[in-house]
Amino acid sequence: SQKIEQNSEALNIQEGKTATLTCNYTNYSPAYLQWYRQDPGRGPVFLLLIRENEKEKRKERLKVTFDTTLKQSLFHITASQPADSATYLCALLVSGTYKYIFGTGTRLKVLA
């Protein structure tokens, strides 16, 4: 069955450093991948979309890579700030549908 894995353990980093979060998938060949941010008690908020033919996408301090050979996406936050502390979810589009499968998310904590 299709499976998405994100680091289940929380990631703690120092303010100003680059945070790197991982999204691995198996039994799947998605054409699109999205990253969302979710704060406690709230719904996810869309951050970035990357297509299978794009190796990298940037938006301000955010960068996403998509390696279809490794079946992996990396999500980077440069110059991290305490306000970046949240859970980050990756989501893969199920081919031929409008449905997305979500990972469990990685909780990021940026220490001041």
Partner 1 sequence: EADIYQTPRYLVIGTGKKITLECSQTMGHDKMYWYQQDPGMELHLIHYSYGVNSTEKGDLSSESTVSRIRTEHFPLTLESARPSHTSQYLCASSEGGRRPYNEQFFGPGTRLTVL
Question: What is d(CA 62, CA 82) in angstroms, rounded to the nearest whole number?
Answer: 15
User: Does 104 participate in binding partner 1 (rule CB under 8 A)?
Assistant: yes
Tell me which residue has tokens 């406690």: 40
User: Does 105 participate in binding partner 1 (rule CB under 8 A)?
Assistant: yes
Q: Characterize the bridge pairing of strands 106-111 and 11-14.
A: parallel
User: Does 26 participate in binding partner 1 (rule CB under 8 A)?
Assistant: no
- Which neighbouring-strand residues pair with 21? 75
Q: Which two tokens stand for residue 17?
A: 């450093």
Nearer to partner 1 by Cβ, of 17 and 99: the residue is: 99
Provide, rounded to whole angstroms, the least separation between the CB of residue 75 and partner 1. Answer: 15
Q: Give the residue, chosen from 61, 68, 101, 109, that forms a contact with partner 1 under the rule CB under 8 A.
A: 101
Q: Do residues 2 and 27 lie in contact, with contact meaning Cβ atoms separated by under 8 Å?
A: yes
User: Does 27 participate in binding partner 1 (rule CB under 8 A)?
Assistant: no
Contact positions vs partner 1 (CB under 8 A)? 4, 31-32, 34, 41-46, 49, 51, 89, 93, 97-105
